[in-house]
Every structure is written in C-alpha cells, then in structure tokens.
Amino acid sequence: MSRKKSWMLVGVAALLLSACSGNAGKQQKTEAMADSMQITDNGIKTIRLDGMEVTWIQDNEGEHLMPVSLFSDASDKLIDSLGVQNGIPSSMSTFLVKTADATILFDTGKGLKNSCLTSRLQSLGIAPADIKYIYLTHFHGDHIGGMLKGDSVISPNAQVYAAKMEYDGWMVMPDDAKEQAERVMSAYKDRLHLFEFGDTLPGNVVAMKAVGHTPGHTVYQTGKLLIIGDLIHGAALQMVNPEICASFDMDKKAAIESRKSFLNYAKENGLTIAGMHLPAPAFR
C-alpha cells in the first residue's frame, strides 16, 4: 500500500472514531473496525455478523476519489483542515449478504465495461443467475446499471425489491431523467416487488425510510448490519459534518435529516454500517 493511501485511511479512521465516539463498548467496536481498514487487492472483503456472511464488493477498479467540487456547502477552510483538497476517499460498492435462507445483493453497480461486480462475484463462485434477491437502495445509474447488459437481464432468477415511493418518484420525472430507471424496471417487471417503508423483506431485512438523496431512498437493516446506500458520499467530510450535502442529493433538507438520524441510530445501537460510497472496504 502506498504511503499516500495509508495516510488517507488513517485520516478517515481517525475522523470516524471521533464522530462515532460513545460508551466504551461502542468505541472498542469502532476501533476494531478502523483497525481492519485495508484496501484489498481484489476489491472484496467478507465479515461475519449475527450469523450472516456479509461481503463488500467494489464495483470500481482501484482508488476512487470524490471531487470536493461536489460538496459546494463545504468551505475551503474545512476542506484544507481535513487534508482532502485532491478528493475525498470513496468507492462504488455493493454488498452481498448470505443468511440461512437467502442470498441477497444490495445494489448492482454501474454495469459499465470497466465495472468489476460480475467478475468479483464469479471469483466468489457466484454467477448472476445464482442471485435470488436484489434489494435496491435507489435508482441512480451506479446502483441499477448492473442489472442489464444492453437490453438483456443479467440476473434472470432474481426477485427485485424497491421502495414504492422510489419507483413512483422516478416514473413522474422527465423522460431523459427516468430513461434508465424505466428501462431497467420494465425489464424486471415480472419479478419487481414494491414495498412500503417498515416492511420486513425475505432474509429478515427491514426496509427503512431515508429519503432526500432520492424520492424513496432506502436504508436496510438486518440484525446488527445497516446498509445505508448513499447517505454518505464523502465520509471524511460528512461523517463529522452531516449537514453538508453532495450535489447528488435531490432534497437537501430531507437528506440532512436522514443522514443525521441514521448515523445517530447506528451509534446508539452499535450497528455496523455498510455504505455504497464509503472508502474501501466500505464497512464502518
């Protein structure tokens, strides 16, 4: 690992520890997670939690930095104080959760030629046809792009779950904004299940309302695992300044409320956070 990459990981870990400090037990858990932060060569990291096997799969190849220009509410002074002038460590990630009775893929990456999800699943001995459930946090292209190759369905046996509020919100957007979402949802229409917030899905996964980033942005909890989707885009900045939004957030006020609420919820309940844009490996 390069000195630059090591420095960035140490900086992010320190900030996360500061942001998530609580009682001694919770602090020890956070420190243990921070100590395990290493960018793996193959973009995969598996943890075992509450009887589940949870695997982080990085869809992008190599290092990914979020440009600071995406965070217009952050002052130059703050950016300089965090040492992230050249970009904020991030990732394009998905998560595979195996329980006793379900194999679930949370989001599907970009689905571009240089995307790594399919090849990394194959390295785990999993083909797209093996995926039983796909749970979507929202409909942005870097989360649903991996569901199609051209116009062909990639996971022909998967049951797809998404928030009804998310679906309804996208379907009334202008044609150019909703084109990809409409095409993907149409391709999976026979296996698309629209849930209400608070529903418990297969695998004992609870869908939770975290709107703001998109109309029906969803956070998922199963046991001590909290999959936060895009609540966080730049962890080094937003974990300690949750009132700062990325330009991707459609409703800034609601996004801030969701971000603050779920970061506090995770801290109070000693949950492990899994985020699609947390720096690799994307567990905290």
| pLDDT digits 0-9 by tens, 94-152 | 999 998 888 999 999 999 999 999 999 999 999 999 999 999 999 999 999 999 999 89
Instruction: Looking at the chain, list the stretches that DSSP marks H as alpha helix, in order from N- to C-terminal side.
Output: 3-19, 24-35, 76-82, 117-123, 141-144, 164-171, 175-187, 235-238, 252-269
Q: What gap in Å lies between CA 213 and CA 38, rounded to an integer?
A: 28
Tokens of 100: 């006793």
Q: Which range of residues forms the domain containing residue 58?
A: 3-275
Which one-letter DSSP state was computed for residue 224?
T
The verdict on residue 53 lying in a domain is: yes
Beta carbons within 10 angstroms of residue 182's beta carbon = 16
- pLDDT-flagged residues of the chain (< 50): 1-39
**Taking the C-alpha atoms of 223, 226, 229 and 234 in order, what is their torsion angle to the nearest 10 degrees?**
-160
The verdict on residue 81 lying in a domain is: yes
Side chain identity at residue 261, one-letter code: S
Whole-number average pLDDT of the chain? 89
HSE at residue 120, side-chain half, CA atoms within 13 A, is 27
The verdict on residue 189 lying in a domain is: yes
The verdict on residue 52 lying in a domain is: yes
CA distances from 248 to 2, 21, 72, 121 (A): 30, 28, 11, 28
The verdict on residue 280 lying in a domain is: no
Nearest CA to 138 out of 90, 48, 207, 85 is that of 207
pLDDT for residue 102: 87
The verdict on residue 284 lying in a domain is: no
- Find the CATH number of the domain harbouring 106: 3.60.15.10
pLDDT for residue 41: 55
Number of domains composing the chain: 1
The verdict on residue 282 lying in a domain is: no
Q: What gap in Å lies between CA 228 and CA 239, rounded to an integer?
A: 13
Phi, psi of 169 (to 5 degrees): -65, -40
HSE at residue 214, side-chain half, CA atoms within 13 A, is 29
Q: What percent of the chain has pLDDT above 70?
A: 86
Nearest CA to 94 out of 107, 111, 112 is that of 107
Q: What gap in Å lies between CA 284 and CA 282, rounded to an integer?
A: 7
